[in-house]
Amino acid sequence: MPELPEVENVARALRHHLLNRRCTGLKVRFGGILEPSPRAVRRAVVGRTLVDVERHGKYLVLTFDDPEPARVMLHLRMTGQVFVLDGYRPDKHVHATFQFDDQPVHYRDIRKFGRWTVVGPDWRERELAHVGPDMLTVRFPEWYEAVHRRKAPLKSVLLDQGVAAGLGNIYVDEALFRSGVHPLTRPADLHRDTLKTILREARAVLRLAVNHGGTTFLNFTDFHGQPGNFRSKLWVYGRTGEACRRCGEIVERLVVGGRSTHVCGTCQPLDRRRKPGNQRKRSASE
């Protein structure tokens, strides 16, 4: 599933290649990806110029110009791709092609879960009311207040998009490894400084992944159809049974909150850095 780094790369490509260009046509092959209808999306984009591309978490909002600005929100979900390729002949998974002057821009989605949705100027309040602040811009005090009392596994809390938007399965595993914290640890048991480290490392791994074009395991490609190359930089994700690149211990796979989770038990010992007040007291006989 495309996460924040992959979506940020799509946003940057759209700004670089399509900003201030006019959408001259839209060919629809499967209207189910366009909401509330293909007609509504066509009315919002065709004949208009793309003037802004914003990202919040895993969501993109494209703004088109006058007479009144029109906005379309894009959520790639699991297998959505936006790309241009010279000489490309769309296969059965290309569900819409936007024409920008003489440049066709294809939307391909094997699972058909992605959506292009016409939204209003208040899209942040209405469409993203269930989503927290962006992971790259949330302030630590705000994030700390949202997580430090939680007693669910840390992995599940970090995946909660209502806490902060954009952090997905790959980058949670990587951030926790870099922080030296086990994914089953409860936020309520961690020192404030440890939580600060986790937020810092999460942001660092997201920025590094953005700079490497994101991570491709199955379907994600960039604007020119090329896979992201961050996979070679991963410490634990997808490396079950392999030696940890830091200590040599074997990387394990767990299931946390229904999600595949990768951890090095040596570098990320469970119960490490717990609050002193939460440690089990020894009896006199121990």
Q: How confident is residue 284, by pLDDT bands cut at 50, 70 and 90?
A: very low
Q: How far apart are CA 207 and CA 178, in angstroms?
A: 14
From the list 42, 58, 71, 115, the catalytic residue is 58
Cis peptide before 276 (omega within 30 of 0): no
Higher pLDDT among residues 282 and 36, named by residue: 36
pLDDT value at position 275? Answer: 59
> Is 3 among the catalytic positions?
yes
* Predicted confidence (pLDDT) per residue in 99-130, tens digit: 998 899 999 999 999 999 999 999 999 999 99
Q: Is the per-residue pLDDT at 226 higher than 80?
A: no
Q: How confident is residue 228, by pLDDT bands cut at 50, 70 and 90?
A: low
pLDDT, average across residues 253-263 = 96
- Can you tell me whether residue 243 is helix, strand or coil? strand
Higher pLDDT among residues 84 and 280, named by residue: 84
- Complete DSSP assignment for 66-133: SSS-EEEEEE-TTTEEEE--TT----TTEEEEEEETTEEEEEEESS---EEEEE-TTHHHHTTTT--S
> Is 196 among the catalytic positions?
no
Q: How confident is residue 218, by pLDDT bands cut at 50, 70 and 90?
A: very low
* Predicted confidence (pLDDT) per residue in 5-27, tens digit: 989 989 998 999 999 999 999 99
Q: What is the mean pLDDT of the chain?
A: 90
> Is 259 among the catalytic positions?
yes
Percent share of the chain, pLDDT over 70 = 89
CATH T-level fold of 140-278: Helicase, Ruva Protein; domain 3 (1.10.8)
Higher pLDDT among residues 57 and 217, named by residue: 57
- Can you tell me whether residue 259 is helix, strand or coil? strand
Rounded to two decimals, what is the model's pTM? 0.87
pLDDT, average across residues 213-217 = 62
Q: How confident is residue 227, by pLDDT bands cut at 50, 70 and 90?
A: low
Question: Would you tell me which CATH number, out of the four given (3.20.190.10, 3.30.1490.20, 3.40.50.720, 1.10.1740.10), belongs to the domain 4-126?
Answer: 3.20.190.10
- Per the CB < 8 A criterion, the answer to whether 137 and 207 are in contact is no
Comparing 42-46, 50-54, 262-266, 278-282, the range with the smallest average pLDDT is 278-282
From the list 22, 43, 246, 259, the catalytic residue is 259
Q: How far apart are CA 22 and CA 45, in angstroms?
A: 9
Do domains 4-126 and 140-278 share one topology? The answer is no
Higher pLDDT among residues 88 and 25, named by residue: 25
Nearest to 179 by CA among 197, 193, 164: 197
Q: Where are the domains of the chain?
A: 4-126, 140-278
- Complete DSSP assignment for 25-77: EEEES-GGGEES-HHHHHHHHTT-BEEEEEEETTEEEEEE-SSS-EEEEEE-T
Q: How confident is residue 271, by pLDDT bands cut at 50, 70 and 90?
A: confident
Q: Is the per-residue pLDDT at 166 higher than 50?
A: yes
